Amino acid sequence: MKVYIDADGCPVVDEAIAIAKELDLEVVIVKNYAHIINDSYATIVSVDISRDSADFYIVNAINKGDVVITQDYGLAAMCLSKEAIPINQNGMIYDQDNIDGMLNRRHLHSQLRKQNKYYGKAKKRNVEADKIFEASFRKLLGGLK
């Protein structure tokens, strides 16, 4: 089992690496070349800056049972189709029961933005959110080992 991190915009890269290192799991960080990420433990893969390059790299590299940290619903859906286990930066594990609703909501929000009727605003991340991710990630990895 490997841990893949969709690192473009991921706020829990350091936390995920620390936990995976404790459990002696291989970590692959996938980022576009515009982001600078250095880590002596993880393998860092830089991909083209074009849209979805990191996503396509991850989907082509993962195997059944690998864990993927992403906030991208489309990538999560593709991971599920390959029997990998996607988890988001808030510790929510994507599965067959919740992914369709998320994809539908993403599509609806996209349509509303095109009509200038939706102005979602992301909440500022806090320490509590990191703790929730860490607990969920540890529980997930502990159940897989």
Query: Is 50 inside any structural domain?
Result: yes
Residue 18: CATH number of its domain: 3.40.50
> Is 106 within a domain?
no
Asked, for residue 19, whether it belongs to a domain, the answer is yes
The pTM of this model reads: 0.86
Instruction: Give the total number of structural domains in the chain.
Output: 1
Indicate whether 104 belongs to any domain: no
Residue at 73 is within a domain = yes
Question: Is 88 domain-assigned?
Answer: yes
Range of the domain at 18: 2-96+126-144
Q: What pLDDT digit, counting tens, does each position of 19-53 carry?
A: 999 999 999 999 998 888 999 999 999 999 988 89
Q: Count Cβ atoms below 10 Å from residue 33 Cβ, excluding itself.
A: 10
Instruction: Classify 83 in phi/psi space as left (phi over 0), alpha (psi -120 to 50) or beta.
Output: left
Tokens of 70: 């992403």
User: Is residue 131 one of the residues assigned to a domain?
Assistant: yes
Q: In the block, which residue shows the tokens 């909440």?
A: 123
DSSP result, 4-59 = EEE-TT-TTHHHHHHHHHHTT-EEEEEEETTS----SSSEEEEE-SSTTHHHHHHH
State the first-to-last Cα distance of the chain, in angstroms, to the nearest integer: 9
What digits encode the pLDDT tens for the residues 60-103? Answer: 999 999 999 998 888 999 999 999 999 999 999 999 887 776 76
Q: Which residues contact 9 (CB under 8 A, 6 or more apart)?
A: 71
Q: Counting every residue, how long is the chain? A: 145
Domain annotation covers residue 83: yes
